Amino acid sequence: MNEELKIFIKAISNETRLDILNYLKKECCVGDIWKKLNLPQNLASHHLKVLKESGLVEAKKNGLKVVYKLNKKQLALRLRLLQVYLN
C-alpha cells in the first residue's frame, strides 16, 4: 500500500471527518462547520487540517475568513487508488 493511500484511509477513518467532507459539498468556513456539527472550534480546525494535508480539502483566504471546499478531483483519484488496491 502506498503512502498516499495510507494518508487517505487515515483521513476518512474518522466519523467526524466524514461528516465534514459531507458538509463541504458547498464552500464554508470553519465557523459554519463547528456550529453545524456541534464541535469545539479547535477540534473542527484540527480535522480540517488533517483533511487539507490529505489533499481532500482546499482552503482559500476570503477577507478575514478561510473558506474550505471539497477537492473533488483528489477525492476521485484517491477512491480510484483504493479500488485498484482492493482489486
Tell me the pLDDT band of 13, cut-offs 50, 70 and 90: very high
Give the contacts of 82 (CB within 8 A, at least 6 positions apart). Answer: 5, 8, 9
Give the contacts of 14 (CB within 8 A, at least 6 positions apart). Answer: 47, 50
Answer yes or no: is pLDDT of 62 > 90.
no
Answer yes or no: is pLDDT of 44 > 90.
yes
This prediction's pTM: 0.88
DSSP letters of the chain? --HHHHHHHHHHTSHHHHHHHHHTTS-EEHHHHHHHTT--HHHHHHHHHHHHHTTSEEEEEETTEEEEEE-HHHHHHHHHHHHHHH-
